[in-house]
Amino acid sequence: MEGFVGNGALKRVIPKLIEEGWDDVPTLKLMKLEDMDAINMTQQQKDALEMRSYLHNRALIQYGDKLESSGKCLQELLGLSADEISSQFGMKRGHVARFIEKKTSNSSIPDRLQQPPQALTSSKRITKTSSNNSIHKKKLDQSTKILLELKRDLIKETDEDGWTPFHYAACFGNEDGVKLMLEIDKSVAYITTGEKGDEKTALHIAAANGRQRVMEKILSECPDCWEMVNSEGKNVLHIAVDAQQEEVIEYIFKKSWIIHLINQKDIEANTPLHLLATFSMLKLMGKLRSHFSRDKWNATNNKNMTPQDILSSCSEIQDNIIGRNIMNQNQELAKITREKSEKRGAQSKERMKAMNEEWKKVGDTHMIVATLIAAITFAAGFTMPGGYNSNEGSNQGMPLLLREAAFKVFVITNTIAVICSTSSAFLYVTASLYYVQHKDDVEKPMKRYLMALLLILIAVAAMIVAFITGSFAMLAHSLGLVISVCLISCISFLIYFIELKKFISHI
């Protein structure tokens, strides 16, 4: 689906499309105007869907982004000359021919191999039933037949995707084209598509697209082509079940050779019964139970699971809900969620790295502050207020103000300031080391920067308290002077409170 949508206008509406069940290309191409209006698609998105459906049906989807970016709708593009299309969009000449071959503006295009895609409107848009139509159709059929008889190799020529005209006829349900080519050369029914890893016959293509009448014509002319398998080892019944084409499956059930298909295994050792169980097609499984003996239900795949094991597992996990579309939807949603999460994670990581760089610069300044506080408080610890006792005796060398309460508070707060400032300086050093060794790990340095900042704030506050209490202890006999010193010093706490409040409010 991503290849179909590309990088154009439809990419923005993918989540809504998946939510509403338009979660694969075949379903998306069935959208009508009322379906688009129901999910509020813009005109640009409608035009993009019409153009991409047209390109997809012609195996030209690789040009989707270039054509859409031109701003022209499909009809405007079809109005350009071959030279203009080739030069403006870098389209190969052969692809240009395929692109403009079916741009006929009248409504009498009878051959279904030459009809434009019907992603947006009903089939009434293509043809009008009239007597002229019938005449044109007969003439075209005769012309095509003459052309193919003259140059029979055209039937087997492949395009760049390895598809022959017969493959396209089977894909689009062109019964007359299928019949005509089989009359000329029946071997085309046995030719597989040339795309490596996706080889399949026209019968497989018809089964996958629900073209039962085409299958009938192919099997009527080549009754043994049901035996062929695709590159994944899947037979025609595998493919019909995988595409959930119930009418085709019931048609195959009526064939005598169904007994040979029902227990045939693909490269993963899954039989068609395993796939029926995977998609919980209970009605069809019930029909099969009445046709085949119990031993047909005991085949195991590479995971050693029988169809009954898968059905039980699906019942427990998904409550018997058909899982293919839901699985696709969940995968798309999970991918979108994962991409958004990765994008948010990358953006968050970049922001954290930038913030870490800023903190590193701030940390260098803070480390100087921490070092200054440590030096001042360390010196104050050995230059005691009031001096020391110089008299001989047991108290010689002791601080004179040792018994004063204010002096004791000074010693404690000064010690707190020393320890906090030195610890802060140490944390700034370790944060720098973490930053050098683990540049992608922004969490560890950030924690240390924040812790160091907190310790500096505590050290500054403790240093001011130490200054106040030291001054009080020394000037206790001059009450007026003590009060003045304390009041002036307390102004700093008011400044700290206001600034911290502003800082915290901006975090």
Above 80 in pLDDT, residue 218? yes
pLDDT on residue 131: 38
Distance CA 167, CA 158 (A): 9
Say if CB 106 and CB 141 are below 8 A apart: no
Q: Tokens representing 66? A: 């270039």
DSSP 150-219: H-GGGGG---TTS--HHHHHHHHT-HHHHHHHHHH-GGGGGPPP-STT----HHHHHHHTT-HHHHHHHH
Q: Is 105 strand, coil or helix?
A: coil
Q: Tokens representing 480? A: 């007026």
Distance CA 392, CA 196 (A): 106
Report domain extents, the chain.
1-147, 351-506
403-424 pLDDT per residue, tens: 788 888 988 999 999 999 999 9
- Sorted by sequence, the CB contacts under 8 Å of residue 333 that are 6+ apart come out as 15, 18
Distance CA 446, CA 451 (A): 9
Calculate helix-pair angle for 479-506, 443-474, nearest 10 degrees: 170
Number of Cβ within 10 Å of residue 179's Cβ equals 15
53-67, 165-179, 287-301: segment of lowest average pLDDT: 287-301
Handedness of CA 484, 490, 494, 499 (dihedral sign): positive
Report the residue count for the chain.
Answer: 507
Q: Taking residues 50-63, what's their average pLDDT?
A: 84
Q: Is 12 strand, coil or helix?
A: helix
Distance CA 385, CA 469 (A): 10
For residue 330, what pLDDT band results from cuts at 50, 70 and 90? low
Distance CA 167, CA 155 (A): 10
Q: Taking residues 458-465, what's their average pLDDT?
A: 90
pLDDT on residue 6: 81
140-154, 221-235, 262-276, 305-319: segment of lowest average pLDDT: 305-319
Q: Tokens representing 144? A: 């095509």
272-326 pLDDT per residue, tens: 887 877 765 656 666 565 555 556 667 778 888 887 777 676 555 444 444 455 5
- Sorted by sequence, the CB contacts under 8 Å of residue 163 that are 6+ apart come out as 59, 193, 194, 195
- Mean of pLDDT over the chain: 77
Alpha helices by DSSP H, listed for 24-129, are: 25-28, 33-38, 43-57, 64-69, 74-78, 82-89, 93-100
Q: Based on the number of CB atoms within 10 Å of its own CB, is 97 exposed (0-12), middle (13-18) or buried (19 or more)? A: exposed
Long-range CB contacts (within 8 A, 24+) of 479-485: none
Q: Tokens representing 371? A: 């070092």
Long-range CB contacts (within 8 A, 24+) of 16-25: 18/328, 18/329, 18/332, 18/333, 19/329, 21/325, 21/329, 23/325, 23/328, 23/329, 23/332, 24/325, 24/328, 25/1, 25/56
For residue 211, what pLDDT band results from cuts at 50, 70 and 90? very high
What is the DSSP secondary structure assignment for residue 388, as one 8-state letter? B
Q: Taking residues 317-342, what's their average pLDDT?
A: 58
pLDDT on residue 214: 93
Tell the residue number behind the tokens 């998105």, with chain if given: 45
In Å, how far are 174, 218, 228, 367 from 224, measured between CA atoms?
Answer: 21, 10, 8, 87
Identity of the amino acid at 442? V
